[in-house]
Amino acid sequence: MSEYERRALVASPTPPAQQAAAELRDMADWVDAEDADVVIALGGDGFMLQTLHGMLERRKPPVPVFGMNLGTVGFLMNEWRSYGLEERLMRVRPFKVTPLQATVTAVDGRVHTLPAINEVSLLRETRQTANLEISVNDRIVMPELACDGILVATPAGSTAYNLSAQGPILPLGSGMLALTPISPFRPRRWRGAILTDRARFSIRILDSSKRPVSAVADQREVRDVARVDICMDRSRELTLLFDPEHALDDRITMEQFAS
């Protein structure tokens, strides 16, 4: 018998996910997500992130999520199958994911606290390059970086936007974070850094009135920011479940050999 007896079903509003959800609803007794031992999520990576963020916003501790891909890439998802769910849940491999926490101070003084599972990115808002001051553990390590932006990525997110920005792939369990510039102009040859996940990052926007910058934590954006402080939030751990033959750690490893 699976330890995940009380199951909730959530699905992306896209037609393929809704059709798949209709197939599954008649095959089991589902409960509300608030009462579940596990959540079955149907959709793509974006919907998975949305589901995980919803859990972070609840008062109850997050429950494990088993995703099935009905989107495009599906890096955080398992293969979609309408049959054999009971057997799959008895064999799953769990993976713990610790989110980032971004404390975003806007130019108008408002402060926003946002979680991020993949990455926190800062991006220029206009044709002007962004000028950023970067500190690690309260020490200024780069007085001025002229760029399109910069991001801090977790291992789970290192194969997403971070990889597209030429950042490094980080193995799960490495205890590292990637600090990756986006189209750096000055210093032109700087390609970023890999730091321990105990590090605390502070990024201050220089000349924010002339060169405005937005901050994005996964899918949530704050515009016209003055400063962003980023660290791991170890108080809120998430669990993703994967079929053992298609587990997340192996996918991340194999991305290093993708052509």
Which residues contact residue 141 at a Cβ distance below 8 angstroms, ignoring those fewer than 6 apart?
A: 134, 135
Q: How many residues does the chain have?
A: 259
The residue type found at 50 is Q
118 among annotated binding-site residues: yes
Both structure tokens of 145: 């970086």
Quickly list DSSP for 169-223. Answer: P--TTS-EEEEEEES--BSTT---EEEETT--EEEEEETTTTS-EEEEETTEEE-
164 among annotated binding-site residues: yes
Catalytic hit among 26, 35, 45, 108: 45
Distances in Å between the Cα of 134 and the Cα atoms of 2, 99, 229, 230 are 47, 21, 10, 11
**Sheet with 238-242: strands ordered across:** 7-11, 38-43, 65-69, 238-242, 93-97
159 among annotated binding-site residues: yes
Quickly list DSSP for 127-165. Answer: SSPEEEEEEETTEEEEEEEEESEEEEE-TTTTTTHHHHT
161 among annotated binding-site residues: yes
Catalytic status, residue 26: no
Question: Which residues define the annotated binding site?
Answer: 45-46, 118-119, 148, 156, 159-164
Question: Which residues define the annotated binding site for NAD(+)?
Answer: 45-46, 118-119, 148, 156, 159-164
Residues designated catalytic: 45
